[in-house]
Chain A
Amino acid sequence: MAVPTIVWVLLTNRRFVVGIALFLAVVLTGVIGPLLYPVDPLSFAGPMETPPCEKYPLGTDTYGRDVLAQLLVGTRTSLYVGFLTALIAMAIGTVIGAAAGVKGGLVDEALMAITNVTLSIPSILLAILIASYLKVRSLEVVAAILGITSWPWYARAIRAQLLSLREREFIYLSRMAGYSDLRLAFEDLLPNIATYIFMAMVLFINGGILGEAGLSIIGLGPTQGVSLGLMLQWATLMEAFRRGLWWWFVPPGVMIVAATSSLMIVSTAMDEVFNPRLRERG
Chain B
Amino acid sequence: MVRLGPFARYLLMRAAFLLATYITAITIVFLLPRLIPGNPLALLLTQLYQQAQANPEAIKEVYRTLMEEFGVGKPLWEQYVDFLSRAFRGDLGTSIAFYPRKVIELIAPAIPWTVGLLVPSTITAWIIGNTLGAIAGYRRGSYFEKTVLTASLILSQTPYYWLAMLLVYIFAIKLNLFPAGGGYSYGLVPSLTPEFIADLLWHYTLPFLSIVLVAVGGWAIGMRVLVIYELGADYMVFSENLGVEERKLFRYAFRNSLLPQVTGLALSLGSVLGGQLITEIVFNYPGTGYILFRGLSTLDYPLIQGVFIILVATLFLANFIVDFIYALIDPRIRLGYAQA
Q: Which residues of A contact B (CB under 8 A)?
A: 116-117, 119-126, 128-130, 132-135, 153, 206, 210, 213-214, 217-220, 232, 235-236, 240-244, 246, 249-250, 252-253, 256-257, 260-261, 263-265, 268, 271, 277-278, 280-281
Residues in chain A near residue B113, CB distance under 8 A? none
Q: A210 to B277: give the CA distance in the assembly, Å.
A: 14
Contact check, B154 vs A257: say whether CB atoms are below 8 A apart.
yes
- Do A264 and B293 contact each other (CB < 8 Å), given the known contacts A120-B319, A214-B159, A214-B161? no
Q: A122 to B275: give the CA distance in the assembly, Å.
A: 11
Contact of A129 among B32, B168, B297 (CB under 8 A): B32
Which A residue's beta carbon lies closest to that of B181?
A242
Contact check, B157 vs A261: say whether CB atoms are below 8 A apart.
yes
Residues in chain A near residue B29, CB distance under 8 A? 129
- Do A260 and B157 contact each other (CB < 8 Å), given the known contacts A129-B29, A219-B296? yes
Contact check, B162 vs A253: say whether CB atoms are below 8 A apart.
yes
Q: A271 to B228: give the CA distance in the assembly, Å.
A: 13
Contact check, A253 vs B159: say whether CB atoms are below 8 A apart.
yes
Interface residues of B, dominant DSSP: helix
Contact check, A125 vs B33: say whether CB atoms are below 8 A apart.
no
Chain B, residues 249-288, CB within 8 Å of chain A (1/0): the string is 0000000000000000001001101110110011000000
Q: A278 to B140: give the CA distance in the assembly, Å.
A: 10
Q: Which residues of B contact A (CB under 8 A)?
A: 17-18, 20-21, 24-25, 28-29, 32-33, 36, 40, 140-141, 149-150, 153-154, 156-159, 161-162, 165-166, 168-169, 172-174, 180-181, 221, 225, 228-229, 232, 267, 270-271, 273-275, 277-278, 281-282, 292-293, 296-297, 299, 301, 304-305, 308, 311-312, 315-316, 319
Contact check, B319 vs A242: say whether CB atoms are below 8 A apart.
no
Contact of B159 among A125, A126, A213 (CB under 8 A): A213
Contact check, A241 vs B311: say whether CB atoms are below 8 A apart.
no
Contacts A241-B169, A261-B156, A268-B153 aside, 14 further interface pairs with beta carbons under 8 A come to: A124-B277, A128-B292, A130-B32, A133-B36, A206-B157, A236-B165, A242-B172, A242-B180, A249-B165, A253-B159, A253-B162, A260-B157, A280-B140, A280-B141
Contact check, B21 vs A277: say whether CB atoms are below 8 A apart.
no
Contact check, A122 vs B165: say whether CB atoms are below 8 A apart.
no
Contact check, A257 vs B158: say whether CB atoms are below 8 A apart.
yes
Contact of B274 among A123, A220, A240, A253 (CB under 8 A): A123
Contact check, A120 vs B156: say whether CB atoms are below 8 A apart.
no
Residues in chain A near residue B33, CB distance under 8 A? 133
Q: A206 to B141: give the CA distance in the assembly, Å.
A: 27
Residues in chain A near residue B296, CB distance under 8 A? 128, 132, 218-220
Q: Closest CB-CB distance, B223 to chain A, in whole Å?
A: 14
Which B residue's beta carbon lies closest to that of A206?
B157
Contact check, B18 vs A120: say whether CB atoms are below 8 A apart.
yes
List 15 A-B pairs, Cβ < 8 Å.
Answer: A124-B275, A129-B29, A129-B308, A132-B301, A133-B32, A214-B275, A217-B161, A218-B277, A241-B166, A241-B169, A242-B181, A246-B169, A253-B159, A261-B157, A265-B153
